[in-house]
Amino acid sequence: MELREQFKEIFGCEAEEVYSAAGRVNLIGEHVDYCGGQVLPAALSLKCRVAVRKNGTNFMRVAATDIPARAEIDLDATENYKNLKWGNYQAGVADEMKKAGYRLVGCDILYDCSVPFGSGLSSSAAIEVATAYALARTGGNYVDKKELAVISQRAENNYCGVNCGIMDQFASANGKRGHAVLLDCATLDFEYIPLDLKNCVLVLSNCNKPHNLVESKYNERRTEVDSALKLLRKQIDANDLAHIQPYLLEEHRTLLTPLLYRRAHHVVSECDRVRRSVEALQDGDLERFGRILNESHKSLKEDYEVTGKELDALAEAAQKHPECLGSRMTGAGFGGCTVSLVRKTGVEDFIAKVGKEYREKIGYDASFYVAEVSEGIIDEG
Ligand code: GLA
């Protein structure tokens, strides 16, 4: 059923507007956003659509198309909904918007999210940014997409207890069709890099790993890199890890334990790979870009240790496929997706072979999507 029709069925009246915010794939620059590094994500056509109308009350009433979940959030008491099973992202965004001085009005919102949950393609960022945009617009506020991304990140950090960086929300809000977003996470300056993939496409492979403990492991890595920076700052003048040159890290590696050295080495080398990837893309050299994707996966596996056997199985099978130029895990890791650069003519065979090898090794199926790089926020009217 069409979203507007479902809205009418659930809320008993017509929706006034429909908006959407995108899921994202990160092409390269993994686990560096919270270290002040540059990242290169792109918004996807997988997205969170919302149908909205003002309801004349002081409540935000939210519902979803795919699950029977419903919630009612009192806009005068937004701080009280942290324990909602479903609806806490929305409450968190409303809470942070109020703190930032936005005018909020009561409204009904129906969510329809095509970003697979737990896929590492940022379904939560898409929900947050769609909520922030819908609330900003219904309240008649001035809309700045950069600021909506920051507010959405704060909601996830402060309200939902996930210590994520800015990348996902930023890409979800500011992505552009056919472009990747080169974002400097230290300054939030960004530029669009045209994504001319010629005879190739990006294939997203979801490892479908159940129950992965992403949040605790993620927070553990953040603590580790904070410790590494603290130790390095005894001898190096740097505000963040991403700005430490690789040779300086080598010169001062004795300041770190072997484990902290590997974590820092990932960050520093990944930042270098982002620079080289942008050059390769600008030169139209997709083979080179593909090789850098492979290097990134290796670093995430060996130095940062955020891959796991499922993502490794997918990346390994992809990397040896003759039509694949490069493949790596994308997002937080521990589960979720890989992104692979594959020649269009080889996509079907790629999916068949990688899918088969994965099933044989892991015991259940992976899912595959050909990525379409799209706008971040869309105002459907
Ligand atoms: C998650 C976080 C991002 C980023 C990535 C890893 O997606 O939400 O902020 O840290 O992991 O690159």
List, for residues 278-329, the tens digit of each pLDDT value. 999 999 999 999 999 999 999 999 999 999 999 999 999 999 999 999 999 9
- Spatial neighbors of 100 by CB under 8 A, at least 6 apart, are 147, 151
Q: What is the pLDDT of residue 216?
A: 85
Check if 165 has its Cβ closer than 6 Å to any atom of ligand 1: yes
Distance CA 108, CA 103 (A): 16
Average pLDDT over residues 254-271: 98
Predicted local distance difference test score (pLDDT) of residue 1:
78
CA distance 368 to 358: 12
Mean pLDDT, rounded, for 31-49: 98
Residue 307: what pLDDT? Answer: 97
Strands of the sheet with 367-370, listed across from one edge = 324-330, 337-343, 200-206, 367-370
Instruction: Give the number of other Cβ atoms within 10 Å of residue 282's Cβ.
Output: 11
- At 210 the pLDDT is 86
Alpha-carbon distance 180 to 195, whole Å?
6
**What is the spatial distance between Cα 151 and Cα 96, in angstroms, rounded to a whole number?**
6
Cβ within 8 Å of residue 303, ≥6 positions away: 262, 263, 265, 266, 269
Measuring CA to CA, how many Å separate 1 from each of 4, 7, 10, 192, 320? 8, 10, 12, 35, 42
pLDDT per position as a tens digit, 318-346 = 999 999 999 999 999 999 999 999 999 99
Q: How far apart are the first and last CA of the chain?
A: 18
Kindly state if the Cβ of 106 falls inside 6 Å of ligand 1: no
Mean local confidence (pLDDT), 31-50: 98
C-alpha dihedral sign at 110, 116, 118, 121: negative
Query: Within its chain, how far is the Cα of 85 from the centroid?
Result: 21
At residue 215, the pLDDT reads: 83
Strands 377-379 vs 200-206: parallel, antiparallel or unpaired: unpaired
Q: With pLDDT > 90 as the criterion, what percentage of the chain qualifies?
A: 96
pLDDT digits (tens, 9 = 90+) for 58-110: 999 999 999 998 999 999 999 999 999 999 999 999 999 999 999 999 999 99
Percent with pLDDT over 70 in the chain: 99
Measured CA to CA, the distance from residue 342 to residue 321 in angstroms comes to: 9
Pairwise CA distance, residues 247 & 268, whole Å: 10
- The answer, yes or no, to whether any atom of ligand 1 lies below 6 A from the CB of 225, is no
- Radius of gyration of the chain from Cα atoms? 21
Q: Would you state the pLDDT for residue 212?
A: 67
71 or 1: which leads in pLDDT: 71
| CA 33–ligand 1 middle distance (angstroms) | 7
Q: Which atom of ligand 1 is nearest to the CA of 125?
A: 8
**In the annotation, is 168 catalytic?**
yes
DSSP state at residue 233: T
Beta bridge partners of 184: 38
Whether the per-residue pLDDT at 152 is higher than 70: the answer is yes
The DSSP call for residue 159 is: I
Q: Which among 31, 124, 172, 223 is the best mutation to test ligand 1's pocket, defined by most ligand atoms within 8 Å of the CB?
A: 31
Q: Is residue 31 in contact with ligand 1, taking CB distance under 6 Å? A: yes
Rounded-to-integer distance, Cα 230 and Cα 171, Å: 29
Q: Chain-wide mean pLDDT for the chain?
A: 97
